Amino acid sequence: MHQAVAELAAERGYGAFTVGDVAARARVADTSIYRRWGSLEALSADVALTWLTESSPIPDTGNLRDDLRAYAAGVARDVSGPSGLAVLRLVIALAAAGEPGIAARDRFIAERGGQMRQMLDRAAARGEPTPSTLDIVDHVLAPLYVRVLFGLGPLTSEYADDLVDRLLRA
Amino acid sequence: MHQAVAELAAERGYGAFTVGDVAARARVADTSIYRRWGSLEALSADVALTWLTESSPIPDTGNLRDDLRAYAAGVARDVSGPSGLAVLRLVIALAAAGEPGIAARDRFIAERGGQMRQMLDRAAARGEPTPSTLDIVDHVLAPLYVRVLFGLGPLTSEYADDLVDRLLRA
């Protein structure tokens, strides 16, 4: 089911396929999708989160700068590829459809935010100065996302490193 | 025509209406849209740019900090409303549809970038230290856009001011 959604999102974009399309591709009945996920939005958010957690696990290197650099480099690599870009567009599109897309998006954000917070809590426990999760969103994730969404050049690992260094200097 | 596109984008989201829908709402023939704009993508980018230029003109206060603060506050206000959010989603969605959407998006970005550059050129001519347009995208526009796209709280003018101050300190 996950693969079917990821393929359809990459091929057509979110909003351009239905539960019926997913069911046909995964060779299951529509009703089994509704029974397990309740809606296309909930299934899509689940797929996006699983994909992201597997492809970009939150790093644990022993110091925050290296954690953040590894994390930023992973995000830069992911969103530069077709699957990662499709996930990013999916999360954005979820909310455009109103409820229950907004609820699915918010669950996704809360889950991913919780993972980031674990990284920050470990740094704080080591006595390192730590930014907030919103600081990371604002000054590391947001530039990466917007550059790729607006086609503003390739995301190199040097650029991702610079974003992290700038955040930790601020 | 502009109003028809803006209404349809706000009501349904981009990708969920056709040239035929625009023509019907604006009470013109499909052919006159194709003759003038060539595609729905080009028309949409034109609408987005016109709306943005009118609602958020590039400020000219006499100093860069106030220019940027006025600009950031305007963007924060715009994307917090339904029309501005629809335009932001439209520019993002343009590229997801492949060509000619990508060309339309790039024209939009280039035009808006040129307007920002005028603001920076004026500051440089006054001898003020100036960031690049990409710095403004990365650290002022991107956080505003991503917070609203991901539903991460209201965009206050204090927050927009902080983004500008942080950029000018860096």
Q: What is the ipTM of this complex?
A: 0.88
Q: Distance (Å) from the C-alpha of residue A53 to the closest C-alpha of chain B?
A: 18
What fold is seen in the domain A40-169? Tetracycline Repressor; domain 2 (1.10.357)
Rounded CA-CA distance A43/A24 in Å is 15
Q: What is the mean pLDDT of chain B?
A: 89
Q: Smallest Cβ distance to A139: which of B13, B15, B143?
A: B143
Confidence bin at B153 (pLDDT 50/70/90): confident
pTM of the predicted structure, to 2 decimals: 0.89
Spatial CB neighbours of A103, under 8 Å, sequence gap ≥ 6: A41
* 3-state DSSP of chain A: CHHHHHHHHHHHCCCCCCHHHHHHHHCCCHHHHHHHHCCHHHHHHHHHHHHHHHHCCCCCCCCHHHHHHHHHHHHHHHHHCHHHHHHHHHHHHHHHCCCCHHHHHHHHHHHHHHHHHHHHHHHHHCCCCCCCHHHHHHHHHHHHHHHHHCCCCCCCHHHHHHHHHHHHHC
For residues A150-165, give the mean pLDDT: 94
List chain A residues with CB under 8 Å of B109. 150-152
When mean pLDDT is compared across A133-147, B3-17, B65-79, the lowest value belongs to B3-17
Tens of pLDDT, residue by residue over A6-17, are 888 777 766 678
Task: Judge whether residue A123 has pLDDT over 80.
Answer: yes
B15/A150 Cβ within 8 A? no
For residues A61-76, give the mean pLDDT: 95
For residues B55-81, give the mean pLDDT: 92
Task: Judge whether residue B140 has pLDDT over 90.
Answer: yes
Q: Which of residues 14-43 of A touch B (CB under 8 A)?
A: 15-16
Q: Smallest Cβ distance to B138: which of A137, A143, A151?
A: A143
